[in-house]
Amino acid sequence: MPTVVRSLLDRLRALEVATRPEHPDLTAALARRWEDLPAHVKTPNQMLGTRSAGCEGTHGVFPRCNLACTPCYHAKEANRVRVDGPHTQREVDRQMGLLRELRGPGQNAQLIGGEVTLLAPEDHAAALQAMHRHGRKPMSMSHGDFDYDHLEALALDPDTGERRFDFLSFAGHFDSMMFGRRGIKRVHDEAELNPYRERFCAMFQRLEREHGVKHYLAHNMTVTPRNIDQVAQVVRDCRDMGFRMFSFQPAAFVGNQARWKDAYRAFSSDEVWQRIEEGAGARLHFRAVQVGDERCNRTAYGLYAGDRYAPVLDEDDPRDQRVLGDFLAGFGGMDFVAPPALLAARTARAIARRPQILPHGAGWAARLVRRAGGVRHLRANPPTPITFVMHAFMDARDVRPAWELLEQGVMSDDPRIRATQERLQSCSYAMAHPDDGRLVPACAQHSVLDPDENLRLVELLPLHGGEPEPATV
Ligand code: SF4
């Protein structure tokens, strides 16, 4: 075949792949994920294996933290490991490489471990760039106690002063069970943290004003018997600060035992969700879509138009469920962040795969506008999307035996351990182990694997004495 013809064919093939709604590697990864899910989560509203392969997080890349949380999910040795930029960059690169290989491109990944802003901005930036390089959508997980200088140095190229990221995604962890924050070492109630939450959001708003770097901010909060009754007020107080996601984690008995303070199992997931709804001022339709197992995750997508909250999908309306089915069948795992021409081509092909989405989608859009208060109300109150999430980690005493049996291919007869195994099999939050080429649920990582891993890291990266003292509880 003449070279010119071969080259033309190659380009046509590349164009055909680039304009598919999903990258073929993602299509294959989603199919595998769906195949591996247990039957009880293979529901029409399941996102795993249809839209996403699941969330991802790093581990063992910078275990140290300079605040203290009760509870803290990290092993007690974590603070004896030095923060080391080259180690972080190397391990993030390896972990993300495996995730790209096993899960395809375009998945959300959290740069998480200890406190990410203890890394030098250059190392933080290099880790995010490695994540992008491997097709991940990174989010930096921080306690939010850092300065604008770090953020600016992270966002800008030090040689040119130009921005090196157009967009940064951060989750700020704020709750009254954290100790050692500058300016407020000990917190008595959640409202005392509001100025610190505002300051966190304001840094990103300033970065956008001064350098054009856009952002997505999530607010993370651990829920215990001490602060459950303040959840609603936190949502009310913080709704307009600039966070686009509010994520609540009912505390679990995992990680450093010295930091276990309360009867964490004194309330149910329903009780937490009820407080979130009180704060949101609306019912939150978490059964419209499901990510993994409902005992692990609740997610409610919606938008505010003024004070009025509208769910994106009404879980009671079969027409909305049908639209979701059309969307998943047509668009699947399509990444909507793409250049306009590519996005248009992918959208056209997605609609061609599922033409019903046009009439059904038009009906859904009209219902959403009605739920949000109508066209006039929306004109006067431009909508702001806000997502509410609850993620309930499991206790180490259950995860350990459940995981050990799963490793042997055995399902437990004990109902509690079996339920734990079902959740681990449906896990939506994985961590990568490049040495043996496998992914493990974050619960298994923290409950089973972290202690040994941190002991190895203590030997590999011992403290050299100049590190800031971590806070004590
Ligand atoms: S198994 Fe653990 S890490 Fe995975 S989704 Fe459930 S709670 Fe989250």
Residue labelled with tokens 């909507």? 336
Q: In what order do the strands lie in the sheet with 384-391?
A: 308-311, 297-305, 384-391, 245-250, 214-223, 167-173, 136-142, 107-111, 55-57, 429-433, 438-441
With left for phi above 0 and alpha for psi between -120 and 50, is residue 31 left, alpha or beta?
alpha
Residue 428 CA to ligand 1 centre (angstroms): 6
pLDDT band at 257 (very low <50, low <70, confident <90, very high): confident
- Mean pLDDT in residue range 90-109: 98
* 2-16, 50-64, 379-393: range with lowest mean pLDDT: 2-16
pLDDT band at 468 (very low <50, low <70, confident <90, very high): low
Residue 148 CA to ligand 1 centre (angstroms): 33
Mean pLDDT (the chain) is: 95
Residue 230 CA to ligand 1 centre (angstroms): 25
pLDDT(256) > 90:
no
Task: Determine what percent of the chain is predicted with pLDDT higher than 70.
Answer: 99
Amino acid at 193: L
Question: What separation in angstroms does the CA of 176 have from each of 42, 45, 243, 351?
Answer: 37, 35, 18, 47
- Amino acid 376: pLDDT: 97
Does residue 304's CB lie within 6 angstroms of at least one atom of ligand 1? Answer: no
Residue 73 CA to ligand 1 centre (angstroms): 13
Does residue 213's CB lie within 6 angstroms of at least one atom of ligand 1? Answer: no
pTM for this prediction? 0.95
pLDDT(369) > 90:
yes
- Amino acid 473: pLDDT: 59
Closest atom of ligand 1 to 427 CA is: 4
Per residue in 198-231, pLDDT tens? 999 999 999 999 999 999 999 999 999 999 999 9
Would you tell me the crossing angle of helices 396-407 and 415-425 to the nearest 10 degrees? 70
pLDDT(72) > 90:
no
Residue 376 CA to ligand 1 centre (angstroms): 42
- Encoding tokens for residue 361? 């989608």
Amino acid at 451: P
pLDDT band at 472 (very low <50, low <70, confident <90, very high): low
Residue labelled with tokens 């300051």? 199
Residue 296 CA to ligand 1 centre (angstroms): 6
- Amino acid 148: pLDDT: 98
pLDDT(300) > 70:
yes
- Amino acid 405: pLDDT: 98
Burial label, 158 (beta-carbon count in 10 A; 0-12, 13-18, 19+): exposed
Helix (H) or strand (E) holding 440: strand 438-441
Task: Name which residue leads in pLDDT, 256 or 393.
Answer: 393
- Encoding tokens for residue 251? 């505390």
Amino acid at 329: A
pLDDT(266) > 90:
no
- Amino acid 469: pLDDT: 66
Does residue 250's CB lie within 6 angstroms of at least one atom of ligand 1? Answer: no
Residue 448 CA to ligand 1 centre (angstroms): 13
* Residue 46, helix vs strand vs coil: strand
- Mean pLDDT in residue range 300-321: 98
Does residue 292's CB lie within 6 angstroms of at least one atom of ligand 1? Answer: yes
Residue 136's nearest CA partner among 157, 110, 154 is 110
Residue labelled with tokens 């004194």? 266
Helix (H) or strand (E) holding 214: strand 214-223
Helix (H) or strand (E) holding 12: helix 3-18
- Amino acid 75: pLDDT: 79
Residue 26's nearest CA partner among 85, 117, 101 is 101
Per residue in 416-449, pLDDT tens? 999 999 999 999 999 999 999 999 999 999 999 9
- Mean pLDDT in residue range 411-420: 98
- Amino acid 2: pLDDT: 81
| Ligand 1 atom 4, closest CA | 427
pLDDT(240) > 80:
yes
Task: Name which residue leads in pLDDT, 68 or 327.
Answer: 327
Residue 67's nearest CA partner among 172, 140, 149 is 172
Which one of 424, 439, 440, 448 would you pick to mutate in the ligand 1 pocket, going by the greatest count of ligand atoms within 8 A of its CB?
Answer: 424
| Ligand 1 atom 2, closest CA | 443
| Ligand 1 atom 6, closest CA | 296
Residue 251's nearest CA partner among 92, 12, 36, 71 is 71
